[in-house]
Structure 1
């Protein structure tokens, strides 16, 4: 196995933990800082906003540097910013540092996706990208449940201190294992930005930002869903997170193979459609305690088939602007994070049960599937006929 891809997977592990652990320990943080859960969920939205701001900004600032130097710089920022969050002494600083800890996320996956594709054998690009995202699925399989357990039984600050140290470990792995790709001195950031003067670029933003919101409308409230609606003991939440992570692990692999087999666009349509169906089942079965476990696995698996197809759609559609487009894709993914968490909080604030955010997710995933179909018909097929 290519060690450079393993280094990227370490980055996926660290980033996956900092992003998704928040969902499992949200009630603990809310209790610690004395706010309600919808208010605490702003920590999810602020991190996502940090990704949206950081992705294009950091890619633009580092566009003349070699990919290895950029990845090292981003992981150094990750280490420092997450350390600030773990030890923030006040509520205000907690929210501010959560925002800044999201800044390196999108740029790392954007640069990492392009590097992974360059490291891959022809026809295996999506699977190479899925290797990087495997780190994120391992985070959900093992790291997030462990972080949730520590946060629930000891302190969420210990969890995020460990996450910060994982960023340092990734820095070292990239330094040792990543080959030195030459910097593109002719890289014109203005030319890359011009990609977003095209209507199909904004269609891709819509596909990702709205469609992936279906996942976050569900997972942002997974802890109160399984405790308040399914009736599980809070101590069972880490086990639920393990099942979600196991599902995501397999879903990520399936998504990569699916994209390389039937095309990224068709894979995206399939994934979003399956996600919508799955979330309908979650809504109607959430009160059945015995089904909470299998649905956690199945929903995690189906939802995470979408990552590699979307990244390949962006890279294939942005020749000459791949890095900027891939990083903007991660920003769009986190707009979906923000939208899913925000819109999912609305029915809760209105007094509805914690399974109602899943209905919001159904609508968002369905729109994502429809927009991906438009992309296939209006963008991909005309290009194939040229």
Structure 2
């Protein structure tokens, strides 16, 4: 694999750390700014919305810039956002810093996925994409727990300064290692927007929202589920998140490897298995060992869908993939927000913490249905092309 993928993975590690580390530091941030924890939670919501909105905006603004230079600008923006967050004298300015960093998130992963795919042979594209996303999964395994520990020990501002330093390392990696791939001739904003008229592109993005959202319907409420239902202590939740992170890393690598060989069968297998595991989580949550195994499987199966989903979008929008790729990163975050909201609704309705697992299973089954529809459309298009060729020969 090219060294440029290492630079992209380092950038992904920093972005993944800053996205999720805030969850473990909300009490400290809230106390420092004298706001409530729910108010401090706006730092999570604001970041998610920043990714969703920023991905298409930053990608459109970068249509006249080479992808390498755009990646450099995005990492610079990420560094600035985290420095603003780390040094903010009042809560509102920290929220602005979070949104600024989030604006870099979607476009970096979207453009980075396109660059990663172009650096390797066609049969290795999904593996290259998964290599970049490995930085995100390792961030959840190592960066977030360490960042939380540092923030609780030395102050949350130190954590964000360290993340900004990681951004500088990622920027240096892009400068030194990522080649300046020439932009494809004849691809303009009009072409980039036109791909959203393709049913297959929209189906792929809908699969991203529903399939990946299923994971976060359960994981968002993992802490109260494990402490109130399974019987784990509050301290043990951190170890369970590490188990989830291990599953993420393994699943991401497996998804990248096998999606290059058989993309749609890989999606059928992972989405179907994930739906079953989520449905069973209501039962396995009653036992500590079974719950830990289930959490690992949710991480593995959930992130095994990431490379094939991203590659599916790239394949279907092959004529102008950059904007579609970035918007699909926003779709992952939209799925997270939607699933967390729906899971919260059923819990608030008095159905219990495990009811969110059922929501996740339903979302994932819906994604599997869309995958089957997409495959049927592929088959129909193939048959139509075959008929057209036969007619032209005659």
Pairwise CA distance, 1:212: 1.3
Instruction: Provide the rounded CA distance (Å) in 2 between the counterparts of 1:344 and 1:27.
Output: 23
- Whether the aligned pair in 1 keeps the contact of 2:77 and 2:100 (CA below 8 Å) is no
Match of 1:265 in 2: 264
Instruction: Provide the rounded CA distance (Å) in 2 between the counterparts of 1:23 and 1:298.
Output: 22
Pairwise CA distance, 1:158: 3.1
Match of 2:55 in 1: 55
Match of 1:166 in 2: 166
- Whether the aligned pair in 2 keeps the contact of 1:191 and 1:321 (CA below 8 Å) is yes
Match of 1:180 in 2: 180
- Whether the aligned pair in 2 keeps the contact of 1:111 and 1:323 (CA below 8 Å) is yes
Residues 83-162 of structure 1 mapped to structure 2, 5 A cutoff? 83-153=83-153, 155-162=155-162
Pairwise CA distance, 1:346: 1.9
Query: Quick one: structure 1 residues 93 and 292, their matched pair in 2 at CA, closer, same or farther if it must change by over 3 Å?
Result: farther
Match of 2:36 in 1: 35
Instruction: Provide the rounded CA distance (Å) in 2 between the counterparts of 1:151 and 1:354.
Output: 29
Instruction: Provide the rounded CA distance (Å) in 2 between the counterparts of 1:169 and 1:116.
Output: 18
The question of 1:305 aligning with 2:275 is answered no
- Whether the aligned pair in 1 keeps the contact of 2:26 and 2:37 (CA below 8 Å) is no
Pairwise CA distance, 1:154: 5.0
Give the gaps of 5 or more residues in structure 2: 386-394
Query: Quick one: structure 1 residues 253 and 74, their matched pair in 2 at CA, closer, same or farther if it must change by over 3 Å?
Result: same
Pairwise CA distance, 1:233: 2.7
Instruction: Provide the rounded CA distance (Å) in 2 between the counterparts of 1:88 and 1:222.
Output: 31
Query: Quick one: structure 1 residues 237 and 343, their matched pair in 2 at CA, closer, same or farther if it must change by over 3 Å?
Result: same
Match of 2:392 in 1: none
More displaced 10-residue stretch of structure 1: 223-232 or 170-179: 223-232
Pairwise CA distance, 1:166: 1.4
More displaced 10-residue stretch of structure 1: 17-26 or 247-256: 17-26
Among candidates 351, 374, 381, match of residue 379 of structure 2: 381
The question of 1:286 aligning with 2:285 is answered yes
Instruction: Provide the rounded CA distance (Å) in 1 between the counterparts of 2:291 and 2:94.
Output: 32
More displaced 10-residue stretch of structure 1: 312-321 or 277-286: 277-286
- Whether the aligned pair in 2 keeps the contact of 1:46 and 1:99 (CA below 8 Å) is yes
| Aligned pairs, number | 383
Instruction: Provide the rounded CA distance (Å) in 2 between the counterparts of 1:177 and 1:97.
Output: 28
Instruction: Provide the rounded CA distance (Å) in 1 between the counterparts of 2:19 and 2:286.
Output: 27
- Whether the aligned pair in 1 keeps the contact of 2:187 and 2:320 (CA below 8 Å) is no
Instruction: Provide the rounded CA distance (Å) in 2 between the counterparts of 1:290 and 1:115.
Output: 41
The question of 1:5 aligning with 2:1 is answered no
Pairwise CA distance, 1:219: 2.3
Deviations 1:56-102 (A, max 9, x none): 11111111211110111111111111232334444444444333321
Pairwise CA distance, 1:185: 5.7
Pairwise CA distance, 1:3: 0.8
Query: Quick one: structure 1 residues 181 and 131, their matched pair in 2 at CA, closer, same or farther if it must change by over 3 Å?
Result: same
Match of 1:324 in 2: 323
Deviations 1:90-134 (A, max 9, x none): 444444433332111111111111111111123111111111111
Instruction: Provide the rounded CA distance (Å) in 1 between the counterparts of 2:108 and 2:8.
Output: 9
- SS of residue paired to 2:130: helix
Pairwise CA distance, 1:381: 2.0
Deviations 1:266-309 (A, max 9, x none): 22222222221111222222242333432222211111101110
Instruction: Provide the rounded CA distance (Å) in 2 between the counterparts of 1:202 and 1:259.
Output: 19
Pairwise CA distance, 1:188: 0.7
- Whether the aligned pair in 1 keeps the contact of 2:81 and 2:99 (CA below 8 Å) is no
- SS of residue paired to 1:181: coil
Instruction: Provide the rounded CA distance (Å) in 2 between the counterparts of 1:24 and 1:352.
Output: 26
State the structure with more CA Rg. Answer: 2
Pairwise CA distance, 1:206: 1.5
- Whether the aligned pair in 1 keeps the contact of 2:30 and 2:36 (CA below 8 Å) is yes
Deviations 1:170-207 (A, max 9, x none): 00111111112123464311121011123333222221
Give the gaps of 5 or more residues in structure 1: none
More displaced 10-residue stretch of structure 1: 225-234 or 189-198: 225-234
- SS of residue paired to 1:179: coil
Pairwise CA distance, 1:29: 5.4
Match of 2:390 in 1: none
TM-score, structure 2 normalization: 0.89
